[in-house]
Amino acid sequence: MPVQWPQGFSIQQLEKSHKRAAFCSGADGVDEWLKKYARQAQDKRLSVTRILIKEPDIIVGYYTLAMGQVNFDELPPEIARKLPGTMMPIITLAWLGVDQRFQGRGFGERLLAQALADCHHTGHIMPFVAVLLDCVTLNAKKFYQRYDFKELPGHPMKLMLPWKLLDEMMGA
Ligand SMILES: CC(C)(COP(=O)(O)OP(=O)(O)OC[C@H]1O[C@@H](n2cnc3c(N)ncnc32)[C@H](O)[C@@H]1OP(=O)(O)O)[C@@H](O)C(=O)NCCC(=O)NCCS
């Protein structure tokens, strides 16, 4: 089911014209990425950043997705044992943030749902075995753990959502 946004809100791909200076999620790295690096990385085809805009031009939140790889032996055994012993394709949810003025209103959850819907769509065209993310703080980790992300063995700040689970979530 498509993610629903209130009237006057829309998802857009980050462009030079978007006004990023006022964005403040409260996490420095998350803010710095959007303001300084997200567009450069997009221009270099390393990642894509999509932003949630409130008309006319307020950035409510954003997320960044990138393709990645993980060594198969870093995956949980129940997934790894069915895979060849090589590097495995993954999608990285590299960043996600909501401006403090809009936190606590369900936008983080909906941005995550949108990011996962994008991953699911991609997975039918370019396969990957899991969505991975690095938690910037323990607080962020608690947020993601609400949504079926599990720790990557031996990496307490890395979380993963296997394709099978993502596919089930999206089919539900
Ligand atoms: C983490 C963040 C994205 C959450 O966004 P948000 O818009 O405030 O979250 P939502 O309003 O959608 O919350 C959805 C649910 O998660 C809960 N929640 C929100 N932040 C949480 C956290 N850090 N830990 C545990 N639960 C959390 C909410 O209480 C809500 O639960 P409810 O539906 O039972 O009331 C936002 O606080 C943020 O941008 N933080 C700074 C940047 C950051 O840490 N980004 C993540 C790593 S890159």
Q: Rounded to whole angstroms, how far apart are CA atoms 114 and 1?
A: 10
Whether 4 is covered by a domain: the verdict is no
Domain with 37, as residue range(s), is 9-171
Whether 142 is covered by a domain: the verdict is yes
From the CA of 102, give the closest atom in ligand 1: 7
What CATH number does residue 93 fall under?
Answer: 3.40.630.30
pTM to 2 decimal places: 0.96
* Nearest residue by C-alpha to atom 9 in ligand 1: 108
H/E element holding 48?
A: strand 48-54
Whether 1 is covered by a domain: the verdict is no
Residue type, 80: A
Tell me if 110 sits within 8 A of 3, measured CB to CB.
yes
pLDDT range class, residue 26, cuts 50, 70, 90:
very high
Q: Which residues line ligand 1 (CB under 6 A)?
A: 25-27, 30, 95-98, 103-109, 136-137, 139-140, 142-143, 146
Average pLDDT over every residue of 84-91: 92
From the CA of 137, give the closest atom in ligand 1: 44
Tell how far the Cα of 42 is from the centroid of ligand 1, in angstroms: 25
Whether 2 is covered by a domain: the verdict is no
Whether 137 is covered by a domain: the verdict is yes
Q: Rounded to whole angstroms, how far apart are CA atoms 156 and 170?
A: 26
Whether 105 is covered by a domain: the verdict is yes
**Interval 57-83: pLDDT, tens:** 999 999 999 999 999 888 988 888 888
* Nearest residue by C-alpha to atom 17 in ligand 1: 143
φ, ψ at 141 (rounded to 5°): -60, -45
Could you give the number of structural domains in the chain?
Answer: 1
Whether 130 is covered by a domain: the verdict is yes
Dihedral Cα 159, 117, 47, 140, nearest 10 deg: -40
